[in-house]
């Protein structure tokens, strides 16, 4: 088999033969770690070991071990007695049940899923808020989740997901509200968090075992919380 030689360019042709490819223009938008002018890097100094988040995870695990040892997972009455959110008990004056479900879980996979989500959301939120503000947002969101849940359904209900949805809503609103102050290296993060939350709620309505109203109430609480306090990270940036 033979190949024909490449034809030589016609000297009378008006086409120019380029020996080099055109250079690729690299823009700032293509550089995920490029500090954008006039805005602070939101992820700068973010710790992988947020203290309050890890304390909350440890408490969730400790309480779950207590639930197993006391047999509170064996029946509906037992889990109500352990502190689950339940309307009739709340109306008897047991207001502490608006907070106690945040540390109770119905199964091992329920605990693991919530602890993982709490860690992921906690890294970003505790970075923005620090210890005290983070605690306020977390427990306020959990309170709002419990309140909406008990208004709509009698219960019982357990889980930290209402508070976690509050953290999720908080960080999405934070990144949107202060987008002129901070930039994130991957701009898809806010969208992915919001989409994941919405999909969780949508699929939650397909299961009778998921307290979606606690999720929705918690998200509302987290979105409201950012309106009433100035995040620590914002104060730090303005000082620098």
Between CA 66 and CA 107 the distance in angstroms is 13
Between CA 27 and CA 34 the distance in angstroms is 10
Mark whether 161 is an active-site residue: yes
Which candidate, 107, 111, 106, 133, places its Cα nearest to that of 122? 133
Which candidate, 18, 101, 12, 3, places its Cα nearest to that of 60? 101
Are 50 and 122 in contact by the 8 Å Cβ rule? The answer is yes
Between CA 49 and CA 240 the distance in angstroms is 24
> Which one of 89, 105, 127, 215 is the catalytic residue?
215
Write down the residue that tokens 């995870």 correspond to.
57
Mark whether 238 is an active-site residue: no
Are 174 and 228 in contact by the 8 Å Cβ rule? The answer is no
> Which one of 8, 161, 238, 240 is the catalytic residue?
161
What are the two backbone dihedrals, phi and then psi, of residue 86, each rounded to the nearest 5 degrees? Answer: -150, 130
What are the two backbone dihedrals, phi and then psi, of residue 151, each rounded to the nearest 5 degrees? Answer: -75, -30
Between CA 127 and CA 132 the distance in angstroms is 12
By annotation, the residues acting in catalysis are: 161, 215
């Amino acid at each position: 088999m033979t190949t024909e030689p490449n034809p030589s360019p016609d000297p009378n042709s008006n086409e120019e033969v380029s020996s080099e490819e055109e250079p690729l223009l690299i823009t700032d938008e293509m550089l995920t770690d490029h500090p954008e002018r006039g805005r602070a890097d939101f992820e700068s100094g973010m710790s992988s070991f947020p203290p309050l988040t890890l304390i909350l995870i440890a408490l969730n695990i400790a309480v779950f071990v207590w639930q197993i040892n006391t047999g509170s997972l064996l029946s509906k009455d037992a889990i109500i007695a352990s502190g689950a959110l339940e309307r009739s008990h709340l109306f008897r004056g047991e207001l502490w049940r608006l907070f106690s479900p945040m540390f109770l879980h119905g199964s091992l996979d329920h605990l693991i899923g919530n602890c993982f989500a709490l860690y992921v959301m906690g890294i970003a939120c505790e970075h923005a808020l620090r210890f005290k503000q983070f605690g306020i947002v977390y427990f306020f969101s959990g309170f709002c989740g419990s309140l909406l849940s008990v208004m709509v359904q009698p219960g019982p209900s357990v889980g930290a997901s209402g508070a976690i949805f509050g953290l999720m809503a908080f960080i999405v609103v934070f990144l949107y509200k202060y987008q002129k102050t901070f930039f994130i290296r991957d701009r898809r993060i806010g969208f992915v968090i919001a989409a994941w939350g919405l999909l969780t709620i949508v699929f939650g309505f397909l299961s009778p075992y998921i307290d979606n109203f606690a999720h929705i109430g918690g998200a509302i609480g987290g979105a409201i919380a950012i309106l009433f306090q100035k995040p620590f990270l914002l104060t730090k940036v303005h000082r620098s």
